[in-house]
A and B are shown apart, each in its own frame.
Chain A
Amino acid sequence: MSDYVPALISIAFHGVTLAMVLYLISVGLSVTMGLMGFVNLAHGAFAMAGGYLASTLLNRYGMPFALAILLAVVIVTAVSLVLERVLYRRFYGGAELDQVLLTMGLIFVSVGAATYIWGPLPQPMQIPKSLQGGIEIMGRILPVYRIFLILCGAILVTLLWLALERTRFGAQLRAAVDNLRMAETVGIDTSRLFAFAFALGSGLAALGGALGAEVFAITPGYALEHLVYFLIVVAVGGLGSIRGPFFAALMVGITDTALKYYVPELGAFFIYLLTMAILLRYPRGLMGT
């Protein structure tokens, strides 16, 4: 009994950390899949790029932590905007097979480029001194960095949801997700909206990749290795939904952590089974439109 509570706290804590990283990375994917009807399998590559850039700026150029992460996010966002205009938008609402081929190609390019520039080993992320160490809460030592990660995630989620509810861009995005043709009819420039949404999603992924380097190690195979988890969060949450993936991420994060703690021999098996069951019951996801 005495072990019970600390174990639960530990699971909840690490589960929520995982969920925050998963959500930051996957939310943009939900928008591209739901709004643009585009299966962007290469979405994880933006997260990876964010991680690599941030770690390089930190380790090699000795930049302050916050500045390095900010700069990495800005660079990835800019690159994603170019890719969206040049490549992605030609395939919106097109054949799934073309989208799969295109984005699989981009994954391979990202694997090759990352190995060429940074080598095959995981990239270390130097955490600033103030965020190192741990705090003891109810008999468990919780790392400060992960607390910081959860706080960052919570702030970002709140900002994102507020922006969606309160800003003009948010209203346009919701309108387009609900009914694309109607949104166009009332004069919303959906092409520009798509570009903004895509860039925002990629930027958040880069942020998630950079901040979460400790949860998902930055390796060249990043985009492929974690793809299934990102897709699960989006599919279970509901395509096009901003909130759905958050609850899906929490579910995946906490279940995954709990299973690894109690029944490590089951591995990710249960998560996959749960995903299949949920998708059979709710084919459009828990909060899909």
Chain B
Amino acid sequence: MTHDASSTRTGNAALVPEAATATASAAAAAREQFSRRHRFTPLEVLPWLAAIGAYFAFPDYLALGSQILATIIFALSVDLLIGYTGIVTLGHAALFGTGAYTAGLLAANGWGDPVSGLLVAALAAAVVGLVSGALILRTHGLTQLMQTLVVAALLMEVANKAGHYTGGGDGLQGMIVWPVFGLFRFDMFGKTAYLYSLAVLFVCWVLMRTIVHSAFGRSLMGIRENVARMHAIGTPVERRKLTAYTLSAALAGISGALIAQTTSFVGLGVLSLERSGSILIMLIIGGVGQLYGAFIGVPLYMIAQDRFATIDPVFWYFWIGLFMVLLVLFARGGVLGILTRLVKRDGGTS
């Protein structure tokens, strides 16, 4: 796709000889930039160092740690939709919850293998994403926002009323999760859970990074920036959006399944509006559409929640709410946005 774009541009420029050299060098620069975007930068190793460091530094907080790692996957999946494709959703818990209940029901009914459980959960969420996405994406703007909300509410009602299978409001009990690959048992200190979550997150991150840097990912960003123009250059916009929705659904499903497996419990909360809303907040705190926003926002939010909510949950709701209002007023782009601006300002003055 990159090649196509640059060759058409030079082709057009050839008709105007004096502009040809300038356009050719611009095309070369663009090609250089496109190929550079795949390369790993040293900064990208930081989150992984931090995650491994945290494993040794905070052995008492591994349970929280694995929740954070799994939630980052959820935030990544939301970022693919909101940040990269420009589809605002208030119901992504629908897919997170589908994954969680799939993994939970498997483990509670005699199939406790975690890895295959994750894959089945991803598949189930992808199917739900494909079907609901096909309906949701037919609408636009506020109506679309409503549709996402209603799909999640619908699934929550199903999970609530199918209490015979899901445990309803009491949550799904009796999950038995087998050792990972038949080798690593889930221990009471949460070591296995943490490393398992970290490994799954790593795989999901590689996947996500590949997706957003691919020609497909670029076309999603094109749709976000200017739908009309993407239509004009012949991009199958609706199909791309649906593909993005399905991929995002699969990631959300993996995240939900991971949390279900590592906590051995699934409650109705996995499908709640609060879940859909809070993941948005975490992502926005970190920064939307920048791939690493999830890695900053989720730990910040969840660690703060863990600290403050144990002291006083009332206090937590009030201050996180106020913080969000201030964030939207004064700090667009989240923490990552602020950092980028600081770095740019320093670079400009020196």
B212 interfacial contact with A, CB 8 Å? no
Chain B: interface residue total (CB-CB under 8 A): 46
Complex Cα distance A100/B89, Å?
A: 10
CB contacts (< 8 Å) of A87 on chain B: these are 325, 329
Q: Name 10 A/B residue pairs within 8 A (Cβ), A-sorted.
A: A105-B328, A112-B317, A112-B318, A231-B149, A267-B161, A268-B157, A269-B158, A279-B146, A280-B139, A283-B138
Q: Closest A-chain residue to B327, C-beta based?
A: A101
CB contacts (< 8 Å) of B141 on chain A: these are 96
Q: Are B140 and A283 in contact (CB under 8 A)?
A: yes
**Contact A224 to B273, CB < 8 A, known contacts A116-B318, A276-B147:** yes
What per-residue 1/0 map shows which CB atoms of A102-135 lie under 8 Å from chain B? 1011111111110110000000000000000000
Q: Are B321 and A112 in contact (CB under 8 A)?
A: yes
Complex Cα distance A106/B327, Å?
A: 12
Q: How far is the CB of B219 from chain A (nearest CB, A)?
A: 21
Q: Are B157 and A97 in contact (CB under 8 A)?
A: no
B116 interfacial contact with A, CB 8 Å? no
CB contacts (< 8 Å) of A69 on chain B: these are none
Q: Are A276 and B314 in contact (CB under 8 A)?
A: no
Q: How far is the CB of A180 from chain B (nearest CB, A)?
A: 16
Q: How far is the CB of B287 from chain A (nearest CB, A)?
A: 12
Q: Are A33 and B142 in contact (CB under 8 A)?
A: yes
B315 interfacial contact with A, CB 8 Å? yes
What per-residue 1/0 map shows which CB atoms of B23-46 lie under 8 Å from chain A? 000000000000000000000000
CB contacts (< 8 Å) of B154 on chain A: these are 269, 272-273, 276
CB contacts (< 8 Å) of B322 on chain A: these are 105, 109
B143 interfacial contact with A, CB 8 Å? yes
Q: Are A235 and B143 in contact (CB under 8 A)?
A: yes
Complex Cα distance A273/B288, Å?
A: 31
Interface majority SS on B: helix, strand, loop or mixed? helix
Q: How far is the CB of A29 from chain B (nearest CB, A)?
A: 11
Q: Are A97 and B284 in contact (CB under 8 A)?
A: yes
Interface, chain B (partner A; CB < 8 A): 82, 88, 90, 135, 138-143, 145-147, 149-151, 153-154, 157-158, 160-161, 273-274, 277, 280-281, 284, 288, 313-325, 327-329, 332
Q: Are B142 and A239 in contact (CB under 8 A)?
A: yes
A189 interfacial contact with B, CB 8 Å? no
Q: How far is the CB of A115 from chain B (nearest CB, A)?
A: 4
Q: Are B321 and A100 in contact (CB under 8 A)?
A: no
Among A100, A235, A265, chain B packs the most CB atoms within 10 A around the CB of A100
**Contact A98 to B317, CB < 8 A, known contacts A33-B142, A267-B161:** no
Chain A: interface residue total (CB-CB under 8 A): 44
Q: Are B273 and A279 in contact (CB under 8 A)?
A: no
A39 interfacial contact with B, CB 8 Å? yes
Complex Cα distance A100/B91, Å?
A: 13
Q: How far is the CB of B2 from chain A (nearest CB, A)?
A: 28
Other than A101-B324, A108-B321, give 10 A-B pairs with Cβ distance below 8 A. A39-B142, A101-B284, A101-B328, A109-B322, A109-B325, A111-B317, A235-B143, A265-B161, A267-B160, A276-B150
A275 interfacial contact with B, CB 8 Å? yes
Complex Cα distance A115/B160, Å?
A: 26
Q: Closest B-chain residue to A235, C-beta based?
A: B146
Q: Are B324 and A102 in contact (CB under 8 A)?
A: yes
Complex Cα distance A115/B309, Å?
A: 14
List residues of A (59-106) whose CB comes within 8 Å of B's CBs. 87, 90-91, 96-98, 100-102, 104-106
**Contact A108 to B320, CB < 8 A, known contacts A97-B288, A227-B273, A284-B143:** yes
CB contacts (< 8 Å) of A267 on chain B: these are 157, 160-161
**Contact A104 to B150, CB < 8 A, known contacts A97-B88, A112-B316:** no
Q: Are A280 and B138 in contact (CB under 8 A)?
A: yes
Q: Closest A-chain residue to B139, C-beta based?
A: A283
Q: Closest A-chain residue to B138, C-beta based?
A: A280
Q: Are A101 and B139 in contact (CB under 8 A)?
A: no
Q: How far is the CB of B349 from chain A (nearest CB, A)?
A: 30
Q: Are B318 and A269 in contact (CB under 8 A)?
A: no
Q: Closest B-chain residue to A101, C-beta based?
A: B328
Complex Cα distance A266/B162, Å?
A: 10
Q: How far is the CB of A212 from chain B (nearest CB, A)?
A: 21
**Contact A101 to B138, CB < 8 A, known contacts A87-B325, A96-B145, A228-B149:** no
Q: How far is the CB of B294 from chain A (nearest CB, A)?
A: 15
CB contacts (< 8 Å) of A109 on chain B: these are 317-318, 321-322, 325
Complex Cα distance A116/B322, Å?
A: 15
A205 interfacial contact with B, CB 8 Å? no
Q: Closest B-chain residue to A231, C-beta based?
A: B146
Q: How far is the CB of A227 from chain B (nearest CB, A)?
A: 7
Give the 6 A-B CB pairs with smallest separation, nearest first: A112-B318, A108-B321, A105-B324, A109-B321, A112-B317, A272-B154
**Contact A279 to B147, CB < 8 A, known contacts A107-B321, A269-B154, A269-B158:** yes
CB contacts (< 8 Å) of B161 on chain A: these are 265-267, 269
A25 interfacial contact with B, CB 8 Å? no
Q: Are B280 and A228 in contact (CB under 8 A)?
A: no
Q: Are A106 and B321 in contact (CB under 8 A)?
A: yes
Complex Cα distance A272/B281, Å?
A: 25
Q: How far is the CB of B145 from chain A (nearest CB, A)?
A: 7
Q: How far is the CB of B143 from chain A (nearest CB, A)?
A: 5
Q: Are A224 and B135 in contact (CB under 8 A)?
A: no
Q: Are B332 and A98 in contact (CB under 8 A)?
A: yes
